[in-house]
A and B are shown apart, each in its own frame.
Chain A
Amino acid sequence: MKQKETKKKDLVTQKDYRKIEKLTGEHPLKALLPDAYVSYPARTRKNGRITYFNFHLAKEMGLIQKEHPLEMNDILEESLLKTFSLVIINEYDEEHKKKFKEEDIKPGTYMATRYLQPQHKDNLGLSSGDGRSIWNGYTEYKGKTWDISSRGTGATRLSPATSKYGRFFESGDPTISYGCGYAELDEALEGAFFSEVLHRNHIKTERTLAIISFEKDLVIAVRAYENLLRPSHFFRYIKQNNLESLRKMALYYIERQESNGVWQNVPREEKERLDFFLRKQIEIFARTAATFEDDYIFCWMDWDGDNILMDGGIIDYGSVRQFGLYHHGYKFDDDGKFSVTIEQQKTKARYIAQTFIQVVDALQKNKKTTIKEFENHKLLKIFDDHFEECKNKNLIHKIGFEDHLLETLAHSSYLKNFRESFAFFERVQSKTGEYKVSDGVSHDAVFCMRDILRELPQLLLRNYEAISPEDFIEIIRSSYAKEKDLIITPTRKEQITLFQKNYMKLLEKASQLEKCSLQDMLLKITLRSAVINKYDRITGDSITIIADKIIKSRPKLNSTQIFQILERFISYQDLNPEKAEQKEKLNPKEEKLLFALFSIVRDYREGL
């Protein structure tokens, strides 16, 4: 029996990994837009080990066979290292006439793409972009094209350090930290955990394909997405008034979205294609802003920022957080430059939409008009309407109603009123005021709205009577609330009444629509809401501690084990009410570690 198993395993590992090894830096953008990147040769970076490999993502991308076992083998590890374990040969190396062995030089060249970055003073994107990343290339599978890039592959001329100091840096130069071009294990693991949890919960995001570790916990993090272009890739061209390249990039992007099946029925003529593109971009950023706000996702969406992809996906997890409560006083401090708050993200997203209007206008008229001219553009109403519509639908989902009720309930006046009461409590801040946190400043929110959405239907199931204001406040109070934050003022009392009245009206309406009893509707909401509004949801703080815990346990864990633990963790954080039970068991040691991770999530569930 044992012999048979070994044979079967061998057969699978003998499959070649040619598709992985084909990733040698080739990408359609290279020929199309030579001014969109800096080209770098590269050499093999030695002594790397695979710390994490995302088998499921690799299967989705067609990089490994569907039947491939969810475990690492020597041939796969070798193939991954051969393809992704590299460091660029940069300007510093050339200036210092560094010699490398012929056999270590990679055959291809790799793009470090150019885009706007807020840290760069020129504001034109002349020297900014991928400061420590390169694009490994693209791969196609089942009608979909994926982009693959790696972070931590050496210092490029586009890093903020080169821009600031006016010179080139050696890759790995310890004197310049961020500008050295390398990445660290903690940030890579945080990104892998965070992105996979968000992806499972239908938030668009880059995903980690692999993490290669080297000495001193330095890593290369390989990431993939269906399209890695950011708005800042586009906005650089409009800033520079380079309409020719802007047009090429826009048309390239539209074609990719179309061929990937993301956009359907795209018009053929250029003018209509651009109109279509514009409408989509406006809707995307309205939806993204609404979702981030409702899921308490903090993503620095400055218009020239680099934390967001063209389709609203998250990229670069350095400053990304998910709050446990609506901490709308938190601001990230990036070397003295403060970010917007979660509440102000909408304004930034709207400005991105406005910039897309400017982009399309310039392409259609062949002439750039200043951004200010578009601040009252009629298309921005689409943004505002779509934002409101998404907010309504998000709240209906949070309550626990099934998706087919979203459309009808979204237009109910009860929902409008319920949203007001919901926001009233969600936005209450502690009387303690603003204070410094490790990476910025914050001002605590004090009420946890997930708790009331989870518990209220259970309490209403008893006799369908509203709960008292005292009980209501007791349920929503968080650990951030001090006694003085919990005073039941007449306004709060009124809002508690309205909250429950409109909640019950929505339930009644839904039960009428579903032709079921109110009791059955409440029971359904109880079950769904228990998952959607889970007590212990991840936060940015918890992800940081979890990454640390994994690093400490890592000497005893191989890449397959880290993958399995991550899979179980994601399943635990899957907020889909229809999810299936995770049957696969871990060994007792891994199970113990997993429980420790759950405990971290619980302890930090209300934090930043």
Chain B
Amino acid sequence: MKLILYSGGTEKENTELDLSLQKLLPKDPLVTYIPSSSLDAEIHFSRYVKRLKEYDIHKFIHFPIDIPSDPVLEAEVWKSDLIHLDGGNTFYFLATLRKKKLLGKLRTFVQEGGILSGESAGAILQTPNIATAGFPEFDCDENDVNLKNLSALNLVSFEFAPHFVNSKRYEEAYIKHTKKTSIPLYACKDGGGIIVNGNNLQFIGKIVCFFKGKKLIRFP
């Protein structure tokens, strides 16, 4: 299983993660970009393409999922080497993936050797649930779609909190949350992320682990 979870940030901040991604990919890979919503998706797609072009990647599919999809293009999606889930509103993104019955297909894609990357919302979706999208209340997504079932792709056994800022109020929120959970929560600053390659976890950038109500390890 090959996964990359990006927190967010600029192209420059993510250089190390992008280089790691390039090493995981075969030569001349096909990449599918899935935006969280089709609103302004073309602009985000264009930005993503320009970023990956720097790594000699040239084949892309733009696959917005909140508009009806065409089976011809969708067939190509599952033949991709990499699928990237972009950032945005995590609740809307998960609701759309579920409505389109794409969660199972994404799991199969990963199980069959495809690489799945995600940024911010797209990274949270790879974890067991998207609870971290809903707090801290001063920095969270709105659940406008009124989503009740927050279970996500469940490809890793940890939670992920992007855009982490070293501050007491963030820490308090994560400590409070992990008192009620049994798996670690990795809070990650922009430019950082986690690479999952089989059983190996590689932490890039500044990441803080919260587990059972405690702040545990600081990476690196």
Contacts and interface: CB of A to CB of B under 8 A. Distances in A.
Nearest to A454: B62
A581 B43 contact: yes
Contacts of B58: 461, 519-520, 523
Interface in B29-52: 30, 38-40, 42-46, 49
Contacts of A534: 42
A591 B144 contact: yes
Interface string A569-608: 0001000010111100000100110010010001000000
Contacts of A530: 42, 45-46, 62
A565 to B, nearest CB: 13
Interface stretch (A216-224, A291-299, A467-475): A467-475
Nearest to A463: B59
Contacts of A579: 43
B62 A458 contact: yes
Nearest to B57: A523
16 contacts: A451-B70, A458-B60, A462-B30, A475-B70, A520-B58, A523-B53, A523-B60, A526-B60, A527-B42, A530-B46, A530-B62, A531-B42, A534-B42, A535-B38, A535-B64, A572-B39
B169 to A, nearest CB: 21
A528 to B, nearest CB: 9
B144 A592 contact: yes
Contacts of A572: 39-40
Nearest to B73: A455
A527 B72 contact: no
Point out which of B42, B45, B49, B64 has the most chain A C-beta atoms below 10 A from its C-beta. Answer: B42
B198 interface: no
A475 B49 CA distance: 23
Contacts of B147: none
A455 B49 contact: no
What is the interface of chain B mostly: helix, strand, loop, or mixed?
mixed
A592 B146 CA distance: 12
Interface residues of A, number: 32
B71 interface: yes
Contact of A527 (B39, B45, B73, B142): B45
Contact of B76 (A459, A580, A581): A459
B220 to A, nearest CB: 33
B61 interface: yes
Contacts of A459: 72-73, 76
Given A523-B49, A526-B60, A598-B39, 4 more contacts: A459-B72, A461-B60, A526-B62, A595-B144
B193 to A, nearest CB: 23
Interface of B: 30, 38-40, 42-46, 49, 53, 58-62, 64, 67-68, 70-73, 76, 142, 144
A475 B43 contact: no
Contacts of B30: 461-462
Contacts of A526: 49, 60, 62
Contacts of B71: 474
A536 interface: yes
A602 B43 CA distance: 19
Contacts of B46: 527, 530
A461 B79 CA distance: 13
A455 B67 contact: no
A462 B77 CA distance: 11
Interface string A392-418: 000000000000000000000000000
Contact of B70 (A455, A531, A592, A598): A455
Nearest to A460: B59
A480 B154 CA distance: 40
A474 B72 contact: yes
A582 B62 CA distance: 20
A592 B59 CA distance: 35
A485 B72 CA distance: 19
Given A530-B42, A581-B43, A458 B61 contact: yes
A462 B42 CA distance: 20
Interface string A364-386: 00000000000000000000000
A474 B142 CA distance: 37
B75 to A, nearest CB: 9
Contacts of A455: 70, 72-73
Contacts of A581: 40, 43-44
Contact of A458 (B40, B53, B73): B73
B142 A582 contact: no
A503 to B, nearest CB: 16
Contacts of A520: 58
Interface in A16-32: none
A2 B15 CA distance: 41
B142 to A, nearest CB: 6
A27 B150 CA distance: 64
A451 B39 CA distance: 17
A526 B73 CA distance: 13
A462 B59 contact: yes
A595 B40 CA distance: 12
A462 B70 contact: no
B81 to A, nearest CB: 11
Interface string A471-503: 100110000000000000000000000000000
Identify the 6 closest CB pairs spanning chains A and B, nearest first: A471-B72, A530-B42, A531-B42, A461-B59, A581-B43, A535-B67
